[in-house]
Amino acid sequence: MLVSRVVLFPLPAQGHINPMFQLANILHSMGFAISVIHTRFNAPGGVDSRYPHFNFHLISDPVTEDNSSTPLSGNPVTAINLLNARCAGPFKLCLSRILSEESNGTVRCIITDAIWCFAQAVADELNIPRIVLRTTSVHSFLVYDALPLFHQTGYLTNMEARAEEAIPEFPPIKVKDIPTFGANDPDSTFETLSKIVGETKKCSGLIFNTFKELESPDLTKLGHQFCMPVFAIGPFHKRFSAAETSLLKQDRSSIDWLDKQAPQSVLYVSFGSLATMDKTTFLEVAWGLANSGQPFLWVVRPGSINGTASTASEVLPGEWAEEVSGRSCVVEWAPQQEVLAHSSVGGFWTHSGWNSTLESICEGVPMMCAPCFADQMINARWVSDVWRIAINLERVFARRDVEESIRLLMTTAEGAEMRRRVAALKETAAACLGSGGSSYEALEGLSKFIMELRNQP
C-alpha cells in the first residue's frame, strides 16, 4: 500500500518553525508520511531522535557559509530577501531529489512558509502542488494584501507624522500599525511584502493557525478576495506542543517558582524570540515591573538588550533586585505553553506575535501588548480594540505607564472583564477542536484536499 507523503519547508525562525512542526505532527496523525526540508541556519537540534517518524533533508544553504551567520538579525526585510536569494537553488535541488526518490507519485504536495517567495516557481517547474502555511493571523494577512491600497492612498508617505491617523478603509488599524518592520525605506518593505502576498495567491491552498469563531469576519473576507481553499485548523499547539522545536533551552525553574505563587497573581513577561530593546527602555520596563508591586516572571533572553552581551542580572541595578526580591523570577527562556496554563498566571505582557497571542487566548489569559514589528502591531490592535482582551501599550515603555497598565490588568474591574471575555474565547477554542468543531471539520477537509492532489499513481 502506497503511503501519501507531504514535504514541508519551514522558515528558520522560532515563530515559524514551531507552527510548521506542529502542522507536520497533525498531518502525520492523519496518516501522512512527512518529509521536512530545513536549512543549516537555526536548524532545530536533535530532530532525528525526537522525530524518528519524519524524514529530514538538510539543504546546503549558503546562508551560514559566509559572514552572514545571523541573517535574521538587523532589518527583517533584508533578512527575508537574503534568505530567499540564497535558499532557492538548494531547495530546488533537494526537492527534485525527493521527488525522484518518490517516483511512484506518493508525494502529494509541498507545504511551505509564505515567506519563501521562490517556492511557487519551483513547485510549478517541478509540477508539484504547493500549499502555503501562514503563521500569522488572517486579519494581518488581509492588511498585507491591502498594502497596494495603502500605497495608492498615500498612507506609506510621511508615516511618522500621520501615525495616529485612522484608516477608514481598514478599521480599526491606524497608520502606525501598518507593517514596516522598522525599515527606513517603506517602499522596500512594500515591495517585499507585496511579493510574498502575490506568490501566495498562486498556491493551491492556504492553511492558517487560527479557528473560525475567532476570525470569522476576516475568513469570510479572505474567501471573497482569494480564489482558493482556506483551512483554519488551529490552534495547532493544543494538538501538539512546540517545546521540542525550541531553539533556546527552557528554564524549568520558572515552573517551580510559579508553583509557590497565589492563583492568578503573576504577570508573565516575554517579548518573543527576536524583539530587542535598548538599555534605557529595558530599565524603564524593569522599574515599571518593580513599582507595580505585582509578582512577575520575566523572560530576558540573551541578546535582547541592544548593544550589550550582558545578562539581565549584570544590567539590572542592585536596588532593583532588592525591591523585587521574593516576588520576581527572571529567566533566559521559559516553557511558555506551560507557563500560560499555570494557575498562578493572571496576565501576559507580550510582543503580540501570533503564536503567543493564540497561546494566551487558549489559556484564558488577558494581555498587555508591546508590539515591535511586522504583524505584531495589527495583532495588538485586534486583541485590544476588537476582542477587548488586552491593553495596548503601543510601544510606550515609560515606567509610570507600565506600572499603571499592570495594575489595571491585574487588579481592577476592567482587567477582570478582560479576563471574563478571554475565558469565553478559551472555551470556544477548546470546542472547535472536538468532533464536529470548526477546526476538526477544516482538518478533515484539508486531509481530503491533499489526498486529491496528484491523485494519479
* pLDDT tens digits for range 234-282: 999 999 876 555 667 788 999 999 999 999 999 999 998 777 888 899 9
Q: How far is residue 90's CA from residue 81's CA, in Å, rounded to a whole number? A: 15
**What is the phi/psi pair of residue 110, to 5°?**
-110, 150
Question: Which candidate, 33, 23, 433, 7, places its Cα nearest to that of 240?
Answer: 23
Banded model confidence at residue 66, pLDDT cuts 50, 70, 90: very low
Task: With beta carbons less than 8 A apart as the criterion, state whether 340 and 268 touch.
Answer: yes
Mean pLDDT across the stretch 387-415?
Answer: 93
Q: How far is residue 343's CA from residue 89's CA, in Å, rounded to a whole number? A: 48
Q: Regarding the domain delimited by 249-430, which CATH topology (the fold level of the hierarchy) does it fall under?
A: Rossmann fold (3.40.50)
For 213-238, how does the pLDDT look when each residue is reduced to its tens digit (9 = 90+)? 999 999 999 999 888 999 999 999 99
- The answer, yes or no, to whether residue 456 has pLDDT greater than 50, is no
Domain 5-243+433-452 has CATH 3.40.50.2000: yes
Banded model confidence at residue 45, pLDDT cuts 50, 70, 90: low
* pTM flag (> 0.75): yes
Model pLDDT, residue 155: 85
Q: How far is residue 436's CA from residue 238's CA, in Å, rounded to a whole number? A: 16
The larger pLDDT score, comparing residue 183 to residue 400, is at 400
Percent of the residues in the chain that have a pLDDT greater than 70, as a whole number: 89
Q: What share of the chain is helix, strand, coil (3-state, %, to 5)?
A: 45, 15, 40
Model pLDDT, residue 93: 95
- The answer, yes or no, to whether residue 5 has pLDDT greater than 70, is yes
Domain residue extents for the chain: 5-243+433-452, 249-430
Q: 5-243+433-452 and 249-430 share one CATH topology?
A: yes
